[in-house]
Chains A and B, each alone.
Chain A
């Protein structure tokens, strides 16, 4: 409203008049100059008695005239208007009574239902917004829980790595030992071969020597020696036969 006043005052050529206009209206503004946040509306309207007369009138008259004061005032007013013929009873009065009855009856009978229906329209709006908010909150809570689970899973990752590490170490160890075995076996094979070779050499040498010695001995045996040895053998045999015979006879 102030901006509108200023816009109007721009058209006024005299700057003093426009300034004084703005300043003059400032004193009429009683509420605090604040646009946001909008102050909350009261939940219920002002209290009324008999649907028409505000409760403030009854409270105003109570100290001086008590409870029946306003009713006496109303009755007195109506009687005054009627008696002085300030209000004339005519056909409209009858109609007024008629339509008044209809309106009061309608409000009394259907008032609560209509009010509940209108409140339900507003409540549906609030419920929709609340449902959206709730679903979002539940979605976020689920996301938090999932995140926590993932963090817990990450803790177990260390154990997994340890196990894998052990696995790999075992494989390496096994591989190393296998290779060591292989190396030992190969070396033993080569050494065995060398030993066998040496044995073979020895045997061959021995056999060769034996053969040579035999050959030499056999070639060195003269026929004379041969006859003598044979005669000796026969003599020995005869002796032996005699002894055995003797033993047998004894």
Chain B
């Protein structure tokens, strides 16, 4: 009985399983048996051809390498770099530019642009030795049209610079000349040959230029998202509430509420829509492309990057006529240099290609600016460069102190006074090189090839420093290789009474300059000082020696847009008063001379680049009430 019941239940299980099998399996078998048809709507794609393996190759073997060659370059209707520019004249010292002198009376702007090019490192007075001949076509108002210049030669190696749209009819064929102008038309622009310039207003500053107005990295919350350019310089603001149309339905209606501003001032918005020649198309364009939606989708990281990049581009290449012209020349020089041109990183990150000279290096890690981006670190050693001016005592104690530093690689003595070179120098483990200078103060910042390290410790023979001061300052410099790290400081300030800049070396709560008579900085600044500063400024420094400090601080601040760094200086005794180069001390004479050179240099720069800092970098346990034994730089605290 029991076994029967068991058997019955077993049978039940078995038949149920069979049924399941038939039901489930049947479908699958059916599907296998019937040829499947692509379901309507299912993606089909490109067919897999049965005879795909048999298809022939697009070219026969041997056809590729055999194509007959002719030494004649393919030619087209217009010029390109290889065909119309003769680089053979540019060998040697790179781009040399000759500027055609103006024929007849010229405007003030024209005059100043000429002066600016003449002061630059590109300029040459001889048209024969020039690699590029520059023809300025500037004066929109005067109506004067330039006539064909003498060395025209069908325009070969010529650059015609048009800062403002030319009202003149073409008096002569441009031919092989490159044209640099704003808003060139697509038809006439020859990519890689002509240069497109920004459109410059008449009142664009010649030099320096207003710094960018961006005050903060990220946009303020609640600020208008987008402003649209309208005719006659007005702006219409569009915000997130505005209606947006679907992509395909080209909207024609008004973009909705939005206040219109008239006048010169730019609206305070995160994005500005500029529609080139057709402002009236802007609103339609806006809607059809759903610009707003797209901008809203943009991640904060991207907005942040774009904001900063616009600001950098403005400051580096756009803000003055001089920068626009130098950028144009730099672009052409890069074409000539070919392999030793600026890499794109140097063009596109601060401080920009005008301040990162490709004649110095094309490797970013050789410059002080890109270590973070490149993941590199400046070298761990420095060269001490000791300037010995009058009265010309060999700085024996100073050499000992510097040579004691574990980071010191070499010592250079720049002998710059009338006394004969001493025959013997102190014994140090450090290699010591003596350079006989030209008795000029600007010699101090000459890029001597004997300097083999990235870091320079610039010293005056009368400076006094201890080894641990040098050690600590150098370690700080490694964290800030693009800045100057110094011991003694001075400040500039706006002197209301005199309506000019003032200078003080008094100890105050802030500073904007460090004295280069004892300071660490990158050796690249020597190259920049010698090769990029206008000659007039270097002459000024030679004539008024106290200015050289100010000039170097201006240069570094203009490049970095950052204040220098101060580190503690043990012998902060006022009577030590050592560190003014050339002059007898900072307390008396330089105080009188310095404000003058601050004003002169600021005028030459076109703006005031110096920035103030209110902090000093000390060792972590500096003057803390803890055991001296715990401190690494304990001798810094000795009174």
A, B co-complexed: no
Q: List residues of chain A with CB under 8 Å of any chain B CB.
A: none
